Each structure stands twice: as C-alpha cells, then as structure tokens.
Structure 1
Amino acid sequence: MRVAIVGAGAVGRSIAGELLSNGHTVMLIEKDGRKVRARSVPGAEWVQADACEVSSLEEAQLATCDVVVAATGDDKANLVVSLLAKTEFAVNRVVARVKDPRNEWLYTEAWGVDVAVSTPRVLAALVEEAVTVGDVVRLMSFRKGAATLVEITLAEDTPWAGRPLREVPLPRETVLTAMLRGERVITPTPDEPLEVGDELLFITHADVEEQLQQVLSPAGLV
C-alpha cells in the first residue's frame, strides 16, 4: 500500500516509521525545509512542497497513493489537504489529524475526511474502556461515521454469563469482532459461551449503540 503523509513533525514521522515497518510504501510531504530530514525516517520518500497547492500534489503524484494522512499541526491545512486529496486526486481513504478538539466538527465527508483522529477523544475513550463496566464505550468511528468500534465489558449481573453467543439477539448490522478474556484474544464463534468480565469489541452503527447496551444489560435477557 502506498501512503502519503502530509506533515513531517513528530506525529508524521512516527506514523511513517510504523507503516514502513509493516511493509508499506511511504511518502512524506513537508513544507518546512528544516523538517525535511531523510535520515530520521530511513526508507521513506521525501517531498518538500506545500501540500495545500494542487500543483505540488500533482508533482508528488498523489493520485498514485491509496491513503493520505493529513498530520500537520494546523487544522486548516489538514482540512485543505483532505479536501484536495479526495476531490482532486480521488484518493480512496483520507485520515486526518484533529489538532484542536474544538474543530473536530469540521472533519466530515464534506471536507473529504474518511477518518478523523482526535488525540484527546482517543485518550478519553481508552480511559473509559479501562474503567467502565457494563456500558458501551465508543472507541472510534469509520466510514465517515457510518460505523463505529465500541467496547463493552460484561458486568457481574449480566444475564448472558454461561450462555453461547448464538443466543444473544444482537441489533441489526452489528458484528462481534473479538473477545478479550484475561490475556486471551478470542475469535468469536456461535457456540462460544460468555463470561463475566469479558471485553466485547463490536463494529456497529451509532444509531443502534443504545439498543446494544439494552441487549447486554440485566434487562436484556429474553
């Protein structure tokens, strides 16, 4: 997979390093020449250019990229890059960094953003996931908000302890993707019995999260 990362600060370089280690091709685009340090991310292609200019992105051949990551420290720049990547170069997937949480509402399909990543929101979700039992916690949104990754830890009063997954009436278009039990990661099967303390990871829709909560609550047993 070919990935373009706009912004070669600490965040952009870290993302590039992870993607390179996973075997992907990475192009870093940075406007500030002082941040163009090829030795800091060996194996990445470096382009010094203003990614908010269409001509610069054309020269960088952005259309050949499968994913664009807008990772600068400027929300305005990230939004412009996202819009250009999607509308001018038809990039399949655009991931954008939210610098100021107050601007998160702007990071939508209208600006070409497929996935918006806000560090404060992610950290808050991880804190909730670690300490919350019995409630649905949203960890991340996908596909322009059409799908969400949520987690729920089964409480001691769950009605489903000891019962197989096939008996749980999950809401429409809700898929259990993984179960965490102690140090184990379990691939869900219809006959897998649930246990108190299981952490369940679902891909679902925001409009049925409340219904999922009700199904797994003490009153959800039918």
Structure 2
Amino acid sequence: MKTLVVGAGRLGTQIAQVLAAAHNDVTLVDIDDDRVAGLEGRLPVRLLAGDACEPAFLEHAGILTADLVIATTGADEDNLVISLLAKRRFAVPRVAARVNEVENTWLFDENWGVDTAVPAATPLISLIEEATGATDTVALLRLSKAGVDVIETAITPQSRAAGRTLADIVLPAGTVVATVVREGQPTVPTPGMRLRPGDELLLVSHAATEREIHAAFQ
C-alpha cells in the first residue's frame, strides 16, 4: 500500500514508522525543514519538506499514485484542505484526518473529502486501524494486507527489560522491534540500544501474541 502521511510530529512519525515496518511504501512530509532534516536516517520512509496544502507539492510527494493519505498536522484547517485536495482533486481512495479541536469535528466528513475522522485523543493503533480500513484486529492491530500484527508495549521502572539492551531480550520467533519512541521521538532500534523507563516500543510480528510480547519485556 502506498501511503502519504502529512505532518511529521509525534503522531505522524509513529504512523509512518509502523506502516513502513509492515512493508508499505510510505512518504512522510512536513512544512518544517528542520523537523524533516532531524528525521533523516531515523525512519525507513521517504522524507520531504514542503507545504502539503499546495497541489504542486502534493504531486511531487506522489499523491497521484497514493492509496491512502493521512493528515496529522496540528492545524485542523490544514488537515481539511489536505483532505479535500486528496479526495476531490487527486481522487485518493482513502483519506484519514486528525481532528485537533473537538468543536471542529462536524467539518470532518465527506464534504471535505474525509473518509475517516480521528479525534486527537485516539490511540495510535486505533488511528492506523481506522485509516487503513483494517477490521480483523488481533492484539492491537492486524494490517491485513501485510499479514502481520503490530503490538505496543511500554517500559516502566518495574519492567524486567528496563536497563537491558535490545540484544538481551529474547523475542518470539518472527518478531522484530519496529521502533522505540523515546521522549516523544521515534528511533530506529539497534541491538545495543539500552531500554529506559518511559520508552514505548512498537513490535511487528507474524505469529507472537500480546501475552508473549508482554512476557518478554515486563
């Protein structure tokens, strides 16, 4: 699935990381050049800086062949414009948009090109599930096209994995750590990364259950 994620804040980068880990073709864009530059080499996605409210930039970002557009900026007006352009001008099959202000929820409908409106407080996995149209949830999410589960776990001071490196953790067969979110920033995991309380991990697995993942880290 070819996906264009607009907004490289915490939510947008996590969505991009999870979808890329499930072998989707992901492009992540943001208007802030410095933010995009700071993510170079940290995410397995195509990164672009520019204004996604401009049709010419959206074309440059590959929207003409996108299967899914997810607008996750912190400005509702931008998310609405991006959704409208995606659906009405570029005929993107599926468009999801984040609603930052509750009072604006009524605007996020088919009139603005939004297939799925997701409140800002919605958990990450639920947002991805809504955006991708996946309905066969196992653990936190099953990306049906990829045939994998995405399972989330958090490291606390009481976790057995706290203070240990990823290389020290015995994972179930067919399971990889897709990203470690530390202090709000997604990080490409390495075997030598030492886990800290507060770290949030997203794992991709073909077979492991949520219980098995919990046992490995908690």
TM-score range, shorter chain: 0.5 to 0.7
Contact 1:28 1:45 in 2 (8 A): yes
Please name the residue that 1:134 is paired with.
none
Tell me, yes or no, if structure 1 residue 115 matches structure 2 residue 122. no
Contact 2:98 2:119 in 1 (8 A): yes
Q: TM-score, normalised by structure 1?
A: 0.54
> Does the C-alpha gap of structure 1 residues 101 and 40 become closer, same or farther in structure 2, counting only changes over 3 Å?
farther
Please name the residue that 1:81 is paired with.
82
Render the CA deviation track for 1:25-51: whole Å, top value 9, x for unaligned. 110111111110333642100111100
Larger relative contact order, structure 1 or 2 (CA cutoff 8 Å, min sep 6): 2
Q: What fraction of aligned residue pairs are identical, expressed as a percent?
A: 41
Cα distance in 2 for partners of 1:98, 1:40 equals 29
Please name the residue that 2:26 is paired with.
26
Residue identity opposite 1:69 in structure 2: I
Cα distance in 2 for partners of 1:27, 1:66 equals 12
CA displacement at 1:99 relative to structure 2: 0.7
Query: How many residues are matched?
Result: 133
Cα distance in 2 for partners of 1:56, 1:77 equals 14
- Output aligned runs, 1:37-76, within 5 Å: 37-39=38-40, 41-76=42-77
Tell me, yes or no, if structure 1 residue 13 matches structure 2 residue 13. yes
Secondary structure in 2 matching 1:68: strand
Residue identity opposite 2:119 in structure 1: S
CA displacement at 1:61 relative to structure 2: 2.3
Cα distance in 1 for partners of 2:61, 2:79 equals 17
**Structure 1 gap segments, 5+ residues each:** 127-140, 144-148, 150-176, 181-222
Q: TM-score, normalised by structure 2?
A: 0.55
Residue identity opposite 2:69 in structure 1: V
Cα distance in 1 for partners of 2:104, 2:15 equals 22
Contact 2:40 2:47 in 1 (8 A): no
Residue identity opposite 2:7 in structure 1: G
Secondary structure in 1 matching 2:40: helix
CA displacement at 1:60 relative to structure 2: 1.7
**Structure 2 gap segments, 5+ residues each:** 140-218
Cα distance in 1 for partners of 2:32, 2:115 equals 26
Residue identity opposite 1:33 in structure 2: D
